[in-house]
C-alpha cells in the first residue's frame, strides 16, 4: 500500500483530438488517454497527487494538461514544454494554472526546440525567478561534455526514466558514475519511471533495473521521484500491468522510510504541494 499523498510524478493525457489537436510534426499518434481513466488508475494504486508531463505529440501547446491541472490545484501539477521565445507573461499564466517546470527532450532531438544550452540558459534565468525547474530527457551513458553544461544551469534539474541508463551496461559504467556524481551534488532529481525503457527483460519483474535504482537512491535519496509513465506511450516490451510496475518499488526502495520520502516528501518539495 502506498502512503497517503503519494505522488505520481510522470503521466500523460491524450485527446480527444477534436478538442486538443495533435502537433503535425509528432513522431507518433497515441490512442486517447482520458482524465477519467487516469483518475481510475490513481484510485486503484492509492495515489493522492500527480504531475502531468507534456508529451511530444502536442509540441508546445500545453492546453490538454493545463486545463486538467488547473481544475485540481490541490493535488495536481504540470511540467510543460516551451520554446526559447516564451514570454514572462506566458510563464506567469502557466504558473497560475499549476505548471512548475519545463521539459526539454535531449534524447530525441526532433522534440527539442532549443538550439543550444545558451538558449536553455536564457530561459532558465527566468525560470529561477518563479521557482521552476527543468526536466531533461537524456541518455546519461552518452552525455559527453553535457554534464558540465547542466551544472551551469541556474535551476534544479529533473531527469526522467532513470536517465535512460540501459541496465545491461551495469552501474560501473564510467558515464553513469559521472551522472551519479552529479546527483550527489544535490541539484539533480531523478524519476524512477518507465523501467521498461531500460530493462533487457521482456516481462515484469524487471530485476535487472534493481542495481540502477539502488545506485541512484544511494547517491541522492532526497532527490528521487517516482511515476507511472501512464499510459506508457513508448513501451518497447509487452505492455506491463500498472500494479506490477508499482510493486517494483519494494525492490527498488526496500526501506519504508525512504519510500515515504520518495513518494511524498521529495515531490512535495519540488512541485510545491
Whichever domain contains 214, its CATH number is: 3.20.20.140
Query: Which of the following is catalytic: 229, 242, 247, 255?
Result: 229
- Residue 261 forms part of a structural domain: yes
User: What is the model's pTM?
Assistant: 0.96
- Residue 2 forms part of a structural domain: no
Cα 209 from Cα 187, distance rounded (Å):
23
pLDDT by 10s per residue, the chain, length 273: 899 999 999 999 999 999 999 998 888 899 999 999 999 999 999 999 999 999 989 999 999 999 999 999 999 999 999 999 999 999 999 999 999 999 998 877 656 788 888 999 999 999 999 999 999 999 999 988 899 999 999 999 999 999 999 999 999 999 999 999 999 999 999 999 999 999 999 999 999 999 999 999 999 999 999 999 999 998 999 999 999 999 999 999 999 999 999 999 999 999 999
- Known active-site residue 208: no
How many domains does the chain divide into?
Answer: 1
- Residue 15 forms part of a structural domain: yes
Range of the structural domain that residue 237 is part of? 7-271
From the list 49, 109, 105, 107, the residue with the least C-alpha distance to 82 is 105
- Residue 198 forms part of a structural domain: yes
- Residue 46 forms part of a structural domain: yes
- Residue 29 forms part of a structural domain: yes
Question: CA 31, 19, 77, 79 torsion: positive or negative?
Answer: positive
Amino acid at each position: 500500500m502506498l502512503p497517503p499523498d503519494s505522488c505520481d510524478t510522470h503521466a500523460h493525457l491524450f485527446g480527444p483530438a477534436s478538442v486538443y489537436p495533435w502537433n503535425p510534426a509528432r513522431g507518433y499518434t497515441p490512442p486517447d488517454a482520458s482524465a477519467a481513466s487516469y483518475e481510475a488508475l490513481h484510485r486503484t494504486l492509492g495515489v493522492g497527487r500527480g504531475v502531468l508531463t507534456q508529451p511530444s505529440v502536442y509540441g508546445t501547446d500545453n492546453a490538454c494538461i493545463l486545463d486538467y491541472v488547473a481544475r485540481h490545484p490541490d493535488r495536481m501539477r504540470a511540467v510543460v514544454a516551451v520554446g526559447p521565445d516564451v514570454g514572462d507573461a506566458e510563464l506567469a499564466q502557466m504558473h497560475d494554472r499549476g505548471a512548475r517546470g519545463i521539459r526539454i527532450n535531449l534524447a530525441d532531438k526532433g522534440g527539442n526546440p532549443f538550439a543550444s544550452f545558451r538558449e536553455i540558459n536564457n530561459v532558465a534565468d527566468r525560470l529561477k525567478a518563479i521557482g521552476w525547474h527543468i526536466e531533461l530527457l537524456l541518455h546519461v551513458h552518452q552525455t559527453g561534455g553535457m554534464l558540465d553544461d547542466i551544472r551551469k544551469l541556474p535551476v534544479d534539474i529533473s531527469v526522467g526514466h532513470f536517465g535512460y541508463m540501459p541496465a545491461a551496461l551495469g552501474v560501473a559504467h564510467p558515464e553513469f558514475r559521472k551522472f551519479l556524481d552529479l546527483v550527489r551534488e544535490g541539484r539533480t532529481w531523478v524519476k524512477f519511471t518507465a523501467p521498461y525503457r531500460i530493462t533487457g527483460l521482456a516481462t515484469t519483474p524487471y530485476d535487472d533495473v534493481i542495481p540502477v535504482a539502488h545506485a541512484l537512491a544511494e547517491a541522492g535519496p532526497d532527490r528521487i521521484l517516482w511515476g507511472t509513465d501512464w499510459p506508457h506511450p513508448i513501451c518497447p516490451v509487452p505492455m506491463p500491468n500498472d500494479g506490477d510496475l508499482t510493486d517494483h518499488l519494494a525492490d527498488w526502495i526496500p526501506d519504508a522510510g525512504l519510500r515515504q520520502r520518495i513518494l511524498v516528501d521529495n515531490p512535495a518539495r519540488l512541485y510545491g504541494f
